[in-house]
Structure 1
Amino acid sequence: MDLSPLLAAIECGDDITVLESLADVANSELTGDDGITLLAAAAHAGRHEVVDRLVLRDVDPTRPWAGGVDPVTWAAENGAYWVLNALLSPDRDPLRADSPHRRALRAARAALESGAGAGPVSPPAHRAVITDLEAQLGIHRTPDELMARALVHADPRHDDWHVSLCRIAWPETQEVFDWARAVAEEAGSLDRRRFALDAINYLSFGLNPHNDEQPFQREAVEFLRPRLDTEQDPQALRAVVAAFTGYCSREELPAVLAHADHPDPGVRHRVALAFPTLLTAGPDALAALLRLADDPHPATRTSTLYSLTYSLPGTLALLDTPALRAVLAAHLTDPHFEARLEAAFALALRGDERGTAVIEEIRRGVKNRYSRGVDRLDDLYHQLRARTSGT
């Protein structure tokens, strides 16, 4: 196997090329030195999806790398949270005395105490590693302890923040909601308010939408609704919008439309994620959707265009107007691949040949099941078949 192209793609972060290329490589070619070389390169480059794929393809995550480096210890010492998760994924018994999870926890704690610098992650996510491993090993931490870990970097994009929230929000209890609400109501610390509002949002993820007796659901709506009007910090407002859409009824959802033109792209994206249910609110919602479909932020455009591939809630019909088709057609040449794909998808579902032509062009670029867009193409064909058969 010629490793040079794969190593070059790993180095520049081109995961799609790596995954497409690996699909043509037999597992037997990956179980020896070549597989270990690729695994080490992907881990050092922080390409956790490639690490995960290699491990799934039987590359041994416990075999030492060059120089006798233990992969699990290296990932834990460097705070490479997602790489470590991929390396640990084959091991189903973290509680045994000699498990790699225990070794990783010791290494992460020691690295944090020594102030070890960053490897593939900057700043390193030692606290995320420790939080996750402690939970798997049955070590309980209070919400205040977990929040303190997240606030060391106080970055909502950092793994320390995300993992602390995940562990706080599971299981979803009234006690944790009361804690988060009390912290969010404190005066003085913006970081604490941001984190607590995010915790309230995360608590909504596990709620059963078919259960009329949701724990703390009405309390959450009553707490969040006025903050849609009063919250001035964009980061905190993102959490408020996201949480409100997770807890509120369909009739209450249009309240988020006031932020469809917010100057912060993250807030606008949160509003975009509330579609297509928002479309039941009438012409104001449709006008907001058309504006968000032209948003300069690629993720917001993509999420908005994605919503147009679904029937209106409570009907079997796709929303379809000349203005909407014009917006969709304008994005058939969108520089962002995912936005272009969603626009083509939405037009094709409406029987518009312009979308079908772009879908066919994208399909011709598909090499295998790891190519960009392949899952959405499968969705499209499934929906088209369902519409043709009337199911």
Structure 2
Amino acid sequence: MTHKDLQDLVASALAELRQESADSPVPNIVSLQSLGSREVFDEASRLCDADDSLQRELGVRILRELGPQDSEGRRTYSDEAIPLLLEMLKNEIDPGMTRRILQALAFNSAREAISEFTTRANHPDPGVRETIAFQLPSLSTPATLGLVADTVKAMTQDLDPDVRYYALYALFEPEEGLGLDDQERHQLAKQFLRDPDRQIQTYARKILAT
């Protein structure tokens, strides 16, 4: 791919972001991620340092899924992308961008950055907390399993129903690997049969029926 081709693709991806809705396809962003080349990584890094917030968002979106994952969940440029994302996160105050950076870290299996998730479990923005409840379990290791489980358990008491739901999902679903046995799952589910949110009530009944 020539430099001009890459710049044209980036311009098309930026246009996608300007018009993006919740369910709209983003083929140009996917194309950039799929290329997985050094040139795309360098361009994403440049975008992450831009003054324009939309360009920074595109840079983070590219890094989130740039190239294939290995058996440990790391991507081709994860070792370089993770420090860059952490530096962005350090100074970020916008909740939307904070969510995107955390998602990008999780999609690069940044287990070394787990404290960036656990220390934000009480973030004032519910979208950030929802992202943490959803992504945190994927970053656990045998050494951090207790910390992750305790953090997620605390998030089941969140005032936001979406945060509670994702925290419960992480604890209830065995594939999430947070170590609850059937008895513990059932005891926890009973506590949410009268949750104010009907989706959570339904989910708790489903767990008790299994």
TM-score band by shorter chain is: 0.7 to 0.9
RMSD of equivalent CA atoms: 3.4
1:304 aligns with 2:170: no
Cα contact 2:156–2:163 (8 A) shared by 1: yes
Q: Cα deviations across residues 203-232 of structure 1 (Å, max 9, x unaligned)?
A: 3xx622316984111011121123333211
Cα contact 1:293–1:327 (8 A) shared by 2: no
Q: Cα deviations across residues 17-36 of structure 1 (Å, max 9, x unaligned)?
A: xxxxxxxxxxxxxxxxxxxx
- Specify the SS of the correspondent of 1:291: helix
Query: C-alpha separation between the residues in 2 aligned to 1:227 and 1:344?
Result: 41
Q: Which sections of structure 2, spanning at least 5 residues, go unmatched?
A: none
**Matched AA of 2:60:** L
Match of 2:16 in 1: 150
1:169 aligns with 2:33: yes
Q: Which sections of structure 1, spanning at least 5 residues, go unmatched?
A: 1-138, 349-354, 357-379, 381-391
Query: C-alpha separation between the residues in 2 aligned to 1:289 and 1:150?
Result: 34
- Specify the SS of the correspondent of 1:273: helix
Q: How many residue pairs end up in the alignment?
A: 203
Query: C-alpha separation between the residues in 2 aligned to 1:217 and 1:290?
Result: 29
Query: C-alpha separation between the residues in 1 aligned to 2:60 and 2:117?
Result: 16
**Matched AA of 1:159:** S
1:159 aligns with 2:21: no
Normalising by the residue count of structure 1, what TM-score does the alignment of the two structures yield?
0.44
The 5-angstrom pairing of residues 28-107 of structure 1 reads none
Match of 1:292 in 2: 155
Give how far 1:287 is off: 3.2
Query: C-alpha separation between the residues in 2 aligned to 1:327 and 1:178?
Result: 47
Cα contact 1:146–1:164 (8 A) shared by 2: yes
Give how far 1:243 is off: 0.7
Cα contact 1:194–1:235 (8 A) shared by 2: no
The 5-angstrom pairing of residues 171-190 of structure 1 reads 171-186=35-50, 188-190=51-53
The 5-angstrom pairing of residues 189-338 of structure 1 reads 189-203=52-66, 207-210=68-71, 214-278=75-139, 280=141, 281-308=144-171, 309-310=173-174, 313=177, 317-318=179-180, 327-338=188-199
Match of 1:93 in 2: none
Query: C-alpha separation between the residues in 1 aligned to 2:183 and 2:75?
Result: 37
Q: Cα deviations across residues 221-248 of structure 1 (Å, max 9, x unaligned)?
A: 1211233332111111111101111213
